[in-house]
Structure 1
Amino acid sequence: MIDTTIDVINKLGLHARASGKLIEVTTKFRSFIQIGKGDKLVDAKNIMSLLMLGAGKGTTLRLVIEGVDEEKALEEIQSLFAAKFYEAE
């Protein structure tokens, strides 16, 4: 099991388009992936749950991944966040 944090660094935060891109990544994996603030974790494969987080720029999110492909899932999620969801700023 991986339990780490990730920072939201893109200008608009985890808005609808960014959440959609995160869903594209998370749904590729068999691992159970949760994201949230502190103890309030949500399913990172559910668009409505992600939008309800209200994670703006500068938010530090907790990321919990458990499953057979957890390392690869972490790598791709970190890359997506680092690339600022491939949005022009």
Structure 2
Amino acid sequence: MEFRASFVINNKLGLHARPAAKLAKLACAYKAQVFLVRAGQMADAKSVLDILTLACPPGTNLEVVAKGPDAEEAIEAILKLVKEKFGEE
């Protein structure tokens, strides 16, 4: 089953290396395939380099898409991480 959710990057430095690493580590904890989508460009959320290719400054709108047995849980965890501003503020 596939789940989707939209969110806005809300931390003051955007999705730079440190939050990208946190997001990738979190995504890797799930069996589901997890992707981030920005303006039609898709990135594997389990890859820091893929995430960084999206170049997401503060205020960027993203969509997270997850497919697999624990997809819904993966999305909920990612949304929580984003809401907490990646623990940076």
TM superposition score category, shorter chain reference: over 0.9
Q: Which runs of 5+ in 2 are unaligned?
A: none
Deviations 1:59-89 (A, max 9, x none): 000111111001110110000000000003x
1:38-77 equivalences in 2 (<5 Å):
38-77=39-78
Number of equivalent positions: 88
- The aligned counterpart of 2:23 is 22
Q: CA deviation at 1:4?
A: 2.2
Quote the RMSD (CA, aligned, Å): 0.9
Q: CA deviation at 1:38?
A: 3.0
Conserved in 1, the CA contact under 8 Å of 2:5 and 2:75?
no
- The aligned counterpart of 1:9 is 10
Distance in 1, Cα, partners of 2:71 & 2:39: 20
Question: Could you tell me the percent identity over the aligned residues?
Answer: 33
- The aligned counterpart of 1:31 is 32
Q: CA deviation at 1:36?
A: 2.1
TM-score by length of 2: 0.94
Q: CA deviation at 1:39?
A: 1.9
Aligned partner of residue 41 in structure 1, secondary structure: strand
> Runs of 4+ in structure 1 displaced over 6 angstroms?
none
Q: Which runs of 5+ in 1 are unaligned?
A: none
TM-score by length of 1: 0.94
